[in-house]
Structure 1
Amino acid sequence: MVSGTALDQGTSRMTSTTTPSTGSRFIGTSNHGYCQHAQEELKRLFPEIRYTLLIPTEVFLFEVPVSAQEAVELIKQKEPMFLRHIQPVDFAWEGSRSDTDLDNLVQWLQQNVNFSAGEKIAVQVRKEERSQAAYTPFSVKQAIDGLLTSVYGAEPVVKEAERIISVYVTATKFYAGISRPKDNLSDWAGGAIRFHKNEEQISRAQFKLLEAEQRFELDFSSYHLALDIGAAPGGWTSLLLERGLRVTAIDPANMHPTLIQHPRLTFLKKNAGDVKLKKDEFDLLVCDMSWDPKQMARLVSDLLYAVKSGGTLIITVKLMHKKPFQTVRELLHMFGSELLLVKAKQLFHNREELTLYMLKQTDL
């Protein structure tokens, strides 16, 4: 951890609040309502973990009895499904809710962190609504960007950063830390990835598939034939068509009229259980249905014969009964050895659901 100092509220005296060398602190973020699940997963990794809730059911401070590097490596190796984002806490102090906080942050950076000329640095600032600090997230970023350019010759960026300076402001506290983008699980502040909605977009459901493509480090344009189960009105189908794939979409409901005549779309206006497909035809299967997860799993299982060995599956699982861990275990049991779970993740654009990234096992 980077050593830190803190300002006694109401004075200008700095006092040490360095995290013990045997431990480290982070701020964790989940989707709203799923904080408890993220904490439960972290406790399995770190039985002696300690929590402090910052925003009910969503954001929390946690301390673990290992170094920051050890903690990050274990979290990435066994990434929790419901932990959307983490940021290290290298520096924390009682906020004055005045510009003194910005002066202290800049001073800490100058004294404890080195930046290289031309190094790309992203500054991500989150401020809780209940905080009454006079400064805005933008003014915090401005203060740090000014330091980066004038003192170090570093380059402030929004994307493709080499390092991230994360700042989190509560009603009473000010937290800051430095990390590599991948060590935060997401290179967006709080993991809140944003996409621009264009006029031609059929539905916001497309954002879920866009986020899955980025989060699972996929490139849909590298696939050729896709099967979209429960496709209507066509948000996911439209994205895959944009990527250049041929898509077979199945749904008894109507697809969006702008898609019907697309030359690379085959639309089967049927229930998925009533269609017959060629064996080993598709290298990608996607499914985003608002159905009971077991019903969804049965439909997908019945059509797995049409997916090539090694083919990719992106499936949304609705968490209707708020038992996510049990739901995932039951689905994996239903799929059996035919599918390999690569990662299960609650994405920012998921709500009461999870997204599964799976591979069809190679035939023996």
Structure 2
Amino acid sequence: MSHWIGTANHGFASLAMEELRRFVNGIKFTQLIAGEVFKMEVPLSREELLDLLQKNEPVFLRHIQHIERALPIQGSADDLQALSDLVRHARSRVDNQTVAVHLRRVEKTPFMYSAADTKSVLDAVLMEVGAETVMQSPDVILSIFAGAEELYVGWGTPAEQLSDWPGGAVRFQREEGQISRAKFKLLEAERAFKLYFETYRQAVDIGAAPGGWTQLLLERGLRVTSIDPANLHPSLSAYPRLTVMKKNASDVNFPSGTFDLLVCDMSWSPMQMAKLVLEKTDALSDGATAIITLKLMHKKPLQTIRDVVAKLESAFELKKAKQLFHNRDEITLYLVKK
């Protein structure tokens, strides 16, 4: 038996729990933050569940934290003392490791310290026991969730927690001249799927307007063909590596093997999107990558995902399907042409 905290995008916790029920018989849930964060009682050991999730990562589970200790909240300095003592007893786990401290909380927790204050105190203790404290890309994460009555505390690697961000909430800083927030989706997809866009040669962006995804790919040095009957942002005209086709994608054809990357972020029917992408398969080189957002427009999103993936698998291998933090009513698919 083990206990965990799971997190999904707001409004999608029920789907994350449904996926987990399909993986784990007898799993039990308790809501912590409505529609987003939940506690899990799992009839498996820590290692058994982690192994299962590494092999079958759920689409809608954004972050997971093992609960190693549940400390009663006193609402006083005793809470920080209890956390400090816990860290001191973990010396062997963190010695010579880089460690990040993540604190999340329910709205009305009696835990009285901010994330910054908690981190400041625990960082000092971590350095005392031989760890190096960092903000990003740690070896180990100390995760603390301040509930209504208890502090739920656990250690894990970024891979074990499915993210190196608190609760999987990936944050990017908006840049001057950024065309749209949609750019964040593609940035997060690059991180989540361990891609390096600068290693690609030529991309096609289907449904590109206003051009957030096109902008990122151009910044990475790719040649980009952007297809959309709507206008792209005027700033993109400064890139000589950009070809703009103001047409519907269904009306455009390319020579075989033209592109090694296809991206598509269209607000369109999932099956119509799949049909359109499949029509462009011949224009992709063997082994080409496709990054596609799948809009969840219907009442049965899990069935929609299965149907669309089944259709796309006639030409692509699905590498991963994930609801990223920057996805709203959608998920992102990472595929490779067969």
TM-score, normalization by structure 2 = 0.97
1:127-166 → structure 2 map (5 Å cutoff): 127-150=105-128, 152-166=129-143
Query: What displacement does 1:148 show?
Result: 1.0
Name 1:55's counterpart in structure 2: 33
Q: Structure 1: which amino acid aligns with 2:237?
A: I
Q: Structure 1: which amino acid aligns with 2:79?
A: D
- Choose the corresponding residue for 2:61, options 83, 105, 109: 83
Q: Structure 1: which amino acid aligns with 2:256?
A: K
CA contact (8 A) 2:102 2:166 kept: yes
Change (3 A) 1:274 1:125: same
**Residue aligned with 1:258, SS:** helix
Change (3 A) 1:159 1:336: closer
CA contact (8 A) 1:115 1:148 kept: no
Cα distance between partner residues in 1 of 2:313 and 2:101: 44
Name 2:222's counterpart in structure 1: 245
1:215-254 Cα distance to aligned partner (Å, 9 max, x none): 0001111100101000011000000001110000000000
Q: Structure 1: which amino acid aligns with 2:51?
A: E
Q: State whether structure 2 residue 254 is matched by structure 1 residue 277.
A: yes
Moved more, 111-120 or 34-43: 111-120
Q: What is the aligned residue count?
A: 338
Query: What displacement does 1:336 show?
Result: 4.2
**Residue aligned with 2:208, SS:** coil
**Residue aligned with 1:138, SS:** helix
CA contact (8 A) 2:94 2:140 kept: no
1:31-82 Cα distance to aligned partner (Å, 9 max, x none): 0011011011111111111111101110001121221111111111100000
- Choose the corresponding residue for 2:74, options 78, 96, 107: 96
1:272-328 Cα distance to aligned partner (Å, 9 max, x none): 111121111100000001111122112111111101111100000110114221111
Cα distance between partner residues in 2 of 1:343 and 1:68: 23
Gaps of 5+ in 2: none
1:343-358 → structure 2 map (5 Å cutoff): 343-358=320-335
CA contact (8 A) 1:228 1:249 kept: yes
TM-score, normalization by structure 1 = 0.90
Moved more, 302-311 or 239-248: 302-311
Moved more, 246-255 or 95-104: 95-104
Query: What displacement does 1:334 show?
Result: 2.5
Name 2:231's counterpart in structure 1: 254
Cα distance between partner residues in 1 of 2:226 and 2:156: 42
Q: State whether structure 2 residue 10 is matched by structure 1 residue 35.
A: no
Q: Which of structures 1 and 2 has the bigger CA Rg?
A: 1
1:9-32 Cα distance to aligned partner (Å, 9 max, x none): xxxxxxxxxxxxxx1111100000
- Choose the corresponding residue for 1:330, options 299, 307, 310: 307
Name 1:207's counterpart in structure 2: 184
Moved more, 237-246 or 314-323: 314-323
Identity of aligned residues (%): 50
Cα distance between partner residues in 2 of 1:114 and 1:163: 12
Gaps of 5+ in 1: 1-22
Query: What displacement does 1:261 show?
Result: 3.7
